[in-house]
Structure 1
Amino acid sequence: MKDIQNIVKDLENVRGSGANKIFTMYLNTDLSDPDQQGGEWKIHLKNGLNNFEHYLKEGNNEEELANYKKIKKKVKKFMDEIERNVMKGVIIVASADEEVWFAERVQMRLENEFEWQESPVLDQLNTLSEKYPRTGIILVQQDQVKLIDTNLNQVEDTAEYELDVEEDTWKVKQGPRHGRAKQGMGSSNIQRDLFSDRYEANQYRWYKSIAPKLDKQAKDREWKRIFIVGEAPASKTLETEMNKDVEDVILKNMLDHGESKILEKVLD
């Protein structure tokens, strides 16, 4: 998905004309909502779509009614396609001439709203763009660093770095770690002890060396907010050494947690 703030800017310039108006829909599909336990969103969707059709029929505006029916058909098709995974909310902005079609599921609860006007109704989308801009979460745990690139409270991408102690450099992690796992139990303990000794002696220099890589990631990914998650002193060292502003440091080891749990902890 494009950056949500850029999407809002694009939609702010959209204008319908005459019978070709703009349809806007915000639909609450959050199944954890007590009011949604029976899939009531389907009823809200049906009623919301039908209300405009009844209104336009009464107005005897055949061209506008025809345009609306085109959008209604496309909206219903989209909702049928995502029915098994509607997340917490659905936003649609559309025009009958197909110049405008923005349809996204989001992981935030919305207020049900259906609009048919000459321009999109963007209040709720604006609120989301302010609260959930493109954000980077940096998880750190000794010789591992993981980046989670999020947009609109959803994971867009991830990247992982692992410290190659022998070469004294950070490398992009390509797959499961094998180095120490191949050792016997006694040898593995020795390896961990050796690493712990080197870690204590070199941790500041190691985290200082990866900070420029993280700054570049933040720039390339256009992060508006940055969070660092990890135990001290690693997380605090990264905050100090990065040039980009860090909004918050969460002193908790979450590198092995699921990404949805991490977003819930950091962004909610």
Structure 2
Amino acid sequence: MKDIQDIVKDLENVRGTGPNKIFTMYLNTDLSDPDQQGGEWKIHLKNGLNNFEHYLKEGSDKEELKNYQQIKKRVKDFMGEIERNLMRGVIIIASADGEVWFAERVQMHLENEFEWQETPILEQLKTLSEKYPKTGIILVQQNQVKLIDTNLNQVEDTTEYELDVEEDTWKIKQGPRQGRSTTGLGSGNLQKDLFNDRYEANQYRWYKSIAPKLDKQAKDREWKRIFIVGEAPASKTLETEMNKDIEDVILKNMLDHGESKILEKVLN
């Protein structure tokens, strides 16, 4: 998905004309919400969509009614497609001519809101864009570094680096590990002891060498915020060596945690 802050800027310039107004919907679909245990979102959706239609049927602008009915059908179709894979909320901003269609499931709480006006209603979307812009989370643990690319509190992509001790360089990890050990230093306790010795002697140089790669990732992915997660001194070394500003360093080893738990810890 495009950076949510750029989407907001685009939507700020949208204007409906005459009968071609802009539909805005924020729908709470959080099934963990006590008020949603019986699928109440379906009732809110039905009532929200029908209210405008009843109002327009009482008016004299048949073209506006037709436009709204087109949007209503498209919204219902979209909700039917995602019904089995809901998140905490759904945002839809649309025009009947198809020039505007923003429809996203989001992993944040929304207040139910339905609007049919000349301009989209963006207050809730702006709040989310300010709290959850494009963000990078860098997880570090000895010879591994994992990047989580997030947008609007959702994972967009991940990249993992692994240190090849034999070649003394960081490489992007490709698929599952093959037969040889990560460190290339044998096996068992000897492997661990040898790696630990080399780690203690070389960790600053190793993390300094990956910092430019991480800066480039941050630039290419247009991260507005960056968090580093890992135990000291690794995380602190990366914070010092990277040129990009780091919003926070979380001194916790979470590289093996699920991505949803990491986002919950870091972003919420």
Task: State the shift of 1:181 in Å.
Answer: 8.0
Task: Report the CA distance shift for 1:181/1:151 in structure 2 as closer, same or farther (over 3 A).
Answer: closer
Query: AA paired with 2:42?
Result: K
User: 1:59-98 maps to which residues of 2 (within 5 A)?
Assistant: 59-98=59-98
* 1:4 aligns to 2:4 (yes or no): yes
* 1:124 aligns to 2:124 (yes or no): yes
Deviating runs (4+, > 2 A) in structure 1? Answer: 175-183
Q: Distance in 2 between matches of 1:187 and 1:152?
A: 43
Q: Is the 8 A contact 2:212 2:242 kept in 1?
A: yes
Match of 2:49, SS state, is helix
* 1:107 aligns to 2:86 (yes or no): no
Q: Is the 8 A contact 2:183 2:195 kept in 1?
A: no
Task: State the shift of 1:58 in Å.
Answer: 1.4
Query: AA paired with 1:224?
Result: K
Match of 2:74, SS state, is helix
Query: AA paired with 1:258?
Result: G
Gaps of 5+ in 1: none
Task: Report the CA distance shift for 1:135/1:119 in structure 2 as closer, same or farther (over 3 A).
Answer: same
Count of residue correspondences: 266
Gaps of 5+ in 2: none
Provide the residue aligned with 1:247 in structure 2: 247
Task: Report the CA distance shift for 1:181/1:8 in structure 2 as closer, same or farther (over 3 A).
Answer: closer
Q: Is the 8 A contact 1:141 1:231 kept in 2?
A: yes
Deviations along 1:88-112, whole A, 9 cap, x unmatched? 0000000111111110000001000
Query: AA paired with 1:249?
Result: V
Task: State the shift of 1:57 in Å.
Answer: 1.0
Deviations along 1:24-48, whole A, 9 cap, x unmatched? 0000000111100111000000000
Task: Report the CA distance shift for 1:197/1:182 in structure 2 as closer, same or farther (over 3 A).
Answer: closer
Provide the residue aligned with 1:226 in structure 2: 226
Q: Distance in 2 between matches of 1:255 and 1:154?
A: 17
Task: State the shift of 1:60 in Å.
Answer: 2.5
Task: State the shift of 1:212 in Å.
Answer: 0.2
Task: State the shift of 1:179 in Å.
Answer: 2.4
Q: Distance in 2 between matches of 1:139 and 1:101?
A: 35
Q: TM-score, normalised by structure 1?
A: 0.97
Q: Distance in 2 between matches of 1:127 and 1:34?
A: 23
Deviations along 1:149-200, whole A, 9 cap, x unmatched? 00000000000000000111000111223423899xx942101100000000
Q: Is the 8 A contact 1:31 1:88 kept in 2?
A: yes
Match of 2:176, SS state, is coil
Query: AA paired with 1:175?
Result: G
Match of 1:174, SS state, is coil
Query: AA paired with 1:240?
Result: T
Provide the residue aligned with 1:180 in structure 2: 181
Q: Distance in 1 between matches of 2:176 and 2:198?
A: 22
Q: Distance in 2 between matches of 1:223 and 1:35?
A: 35
Query: AA paired with 1:70?
Result: Q
Query: AA paired with 1:131?
Result: K
